[in-house]
Chain A
Amino acid sequence: MASKKSARRQQLARTAMYPLDWLEERSGLVGGVRYFLFRKVPGDTNWFHTLGSATLTAFLVQLVTGVILAMYYKPDPQNAHSSIDHITNDVTLGWLVRGMHKWGASVFIILMFMHMGRVFLFGAYKYPRELNWIIGVLLLATGLFEGLTGYLLPFDQTAYWATVVAININGTAPFLGPFLASLLRGGAEIGPDTLARFYSLHMLLIPGALIGLITLHLYLVIRLGVTSPPWSDEAAGEGPPPAPPSARAGLVRPRPRAAVRGRPTE
């Protein structure tokens, strides 16, 4: 009886797993996701290591709420503010979605800075992760630009004048500043084009850049592994280095004795 039951259970498991197996056989995606999610990390990682994932989560929240807001927002000077009013007061749960997007923007920026601080204080920007620090700085600048363009969209007095000042600050940059200001305004004066232009940047161009940069950022995190904290006994990277022939694709591998120069290796 028992063996019969377990055989049935096995069949049940096979049936349940069938779609996943089907997908895996044709795409290798299941293995890829498993590789992505079940990586080896140093044993003494701690809560500070979650700041990067938290930033990513905040970005995903902005992505989802932003798409919903775009369904109701009207990016022209006559209707922009009243459509925001409509979202906040009339649309079911619109106040919640707009609130998440508005406050989530600050959360995203704050988390970026905290993540940056963690990486700095843990020395996680050092070899071989310098490039990921540089991509992170680009992400920070792009994220701040996203905040700047989003700030105009409610189109109230605060938004309008803050944007006037922000564009003019850009205009004071040497040599190219005046052209940058004209480019942001879409002309010599702030007009109807300015709002539409900021909307386009805010919801199409900059998010696209952010998604691309985040992909590169994550690729390098997976390739190089998570850093252990500075007080750790474990080496950074993915555990002990494999044997030389198979390690050729790996980055972290002991140097040949002859190539050691300067200081001794452990």
Chain B
Amino acid sequence: MDDPRGDMERHEPPPSLWPVGFAVGIVCLLVGLIVSWPAAAVGAGLAAVFGFLWARDVVSASRGPTLPEPAELEGRPSAPAIPAHQGEAAMPEPEPAERFPRNVFLEMSTLGLGAVIGGIVTVPAIGFAVLPAFLKQHSPQIDVGPITDFPQGQYVVATFLRNPSEGEISRRTAYIRNNGSVKGVPSFTCISNRCAHLGCPVQPGGPVFDSKKQTVKTKNGEVDLIPMLPAAGFICPCHGGAYDQEGNRTAGPPVRGLDRYEFLIKDGHLILAGTYSVASVSGTGGTAKIHRYQTTGPGQHIDGPEAWLYPVQPPH
């Protein structure tokens, strides 16, 4: 018969070498992730084997040997009194059937009602806190001025308010180049300055002609256009990510090319509408071939096996 007062036995884990092997496996796995895949696989295998052995050890130890049978103790009248928690209880435990069913019903209904009330209170609260971050996310259309303000073949730093009602916090920068017309259709390269590593603002790798700054009034308020010459492409000040003039990653930690803005032309104005992510660009200017994907956060792969780590994106 089980001790009705619960098992008060010490459960100190016995000394074991399995945790050490498990730790070695984890270390090997983590180092392997950086150094080589086979080492990581070996580490994972070690960790799995030793983890299993450790778990088996812990489980078998906690079953442990049982207390001596009460009859054995009672057979020795001269022995000291049995501790109160051992042996037969003075009064037998009530059989399960002896519990009043109404009593059980009331217990259960009180607990159940409490759970329901708790759920009614907490679930909507969590919903209110979480859902707004994922609903009604849409990219506004940003008017950056007449296309005649963008000289052909010249990169321009355009800074604008993404959403003027939000104020300065929504100020964004795009690097825009007029590629002239391709097959009779105007072509622009509109690169977002958000680094594909961790989102710092990339800077032009070349002179920015502040004296030729031009401020255009559009529906989005004032838009600053400053001509520049990014001879060395774009460089991030935070961790040294570098890109060429098309936004292809050339050096440093970024995992892909720079994001770009969709654009359209309305009443002779260049409108930026939403972003998309770019794995890489082959070719240059208007005839470039862009390997585009849906907008993805900085630091996340969008092609290759690493992209399997990010199967679903929240709405951007």
Chain A residue numbers with a CB within 8 Å of B311 are 175
Inter-chain contact A164/B199, CB cutoff 8 Å: yes
Chain B residue numbers with a CB within 8 Å of A191 are 163, 166, 169-170
- The answer, yes or no, to whether A5 is at the interface (CB within 8 Å) is no
Min CB gap B59→A, angstroms: 15
Chain A residue numbers with a CB within 8 Å of B169 are 77, 190-192, 195
Chain A residue numbers with a CB within 8 Å of B137 are 182, 187-188
Inter-chain contact A256/B67, CB cutoff 8 Å: yes
Inter-chain contact A127/B133, CB cutoff 8 Å: no
**CB < 8 Å neighbour of B300 from A177, A188, A195:** A177
- The answer, yes or no, to whether A174 is at the interface (CB within 8 Å) is yes
Stretch of A20-28, A64-72, A93-101, A257-265 lying at the B interface: A257-265
Stretch of B3-11, B179-187, B261-269 lying at the A interface: B3-11
**CB < 8 Å neighbour of B313 from A167, A168, A178, A259:** A178
- The answer, yes or no, to whether A90 is at the interface (CB within 8 Å) is no
- The answer, yes or no, to whether B37 is at the interface (CB within 8 Å) is no
- The answer, yes or no, to whether B118 is at the interface (CB within 8 Å) is no
> How far, in whole Å, are A178 and B64 apart by their CA atoms in the complex?
46
Using known A-B contacts A175-B311, A186-B133, A192-B169, determine if residue A161 contacts B200 with beta carbons closer than 8 Å.
yes
**CB < 8 Å neighbour of B297 from A127, A174, A181, A193:** A181
Interface size, chain B (Cβ < 8 Å): 46
Q: Mark B212-243, 1 if CB is under 8 A from A, else 0.
A: 00000000000000000000000000100000
Using known A-B contacts A169-B299, A171-B300, A175-B309, determine if residue A186 contacts B132 with beta carbons closer than 8 Å.
yes
Within 8 A of B (CB), among A240-266: 244-245, 248, 253, 255-256, 258-259, 261-262
- The answer, yes or no, to whether B71 is at the interface (CB within 8 Å) is no
Inter-chain contact A77/B313, CB cutoff 8 Å: no
| A-B CB pair tally, cutoff 8 Å | 111
Inter-chain contact B299/A259, CB cutoff 8 Å: no
Min CB gap A240→B, angstroms: 16
Q: Number of contact residues on A: which range applies?
A: 35 or more
Within 8 A of A (CB), among B293-316: 295-300, 309-316
Q: Which residue of B lies closest to A252 (CB)?
A: B10
Q: Which residue of B lies closest to A160 (CB)?
A: B169
Chain B residue numbers with a CB within 8 Å of A174 are 309-310
Chain A residue numbers with a CB within 8 Å of B163 are 191
Inter-chain contact A182/B134, CB cutoff 8 Å: yes
Inter-chain contact B133/A183, CB cutoff 8 Å: yes
Inter-chain contact B200/A189, CB cutoff 8 Å: no
- The answer, yes or no, to whether A202 is at the interface (CB within 8 Å) is no
Q: Which residue of B lies closest to A127 (CB)?
A: B12
Q: Which residue of A lies closest to B134 (CB)?
A: A182
> How far, in whole Å, are A186 and B248 apart by their CA atoms in the complex?
30
Min CB gap A155→B, angstroms: 9
- The answer, yes or no, to whether A232 is at the interface (CB within 8 Å) is no
6 example contacts (A-B, Cβ-Cβ < 8 A) are as follows A172-B297, A175-B312, A193-B132, A248-B84, A259-B67, A261-B64
The interface of chain B, by Cβ under 8 A from chain A, is 5, 8-14, 64-65, 67-68, 83-86, 130, 132-134, 137, 162-163, 166-170, 198-200, 238, 295-300, 309-316
Apart from A258-B67, A259-B9, what 16 extra A-B contacts exist at CB < 8 Å?
A78-B168, A127-B13, A161-B200, A168-B198, A174-B310, A175-B310, A175-B312, A178-B310, A178-B312, A178-B313, A179-B314, A182-B137, A188-B137, A190-B169, A192-B167, A261-B65
Closest 10 CB pairs of A and B: A174-B309, A172-B299, A171-B297, A182-B314, A77-B169, A244-B83, A168-B199, A168-B198, A188-B316, A127-B12
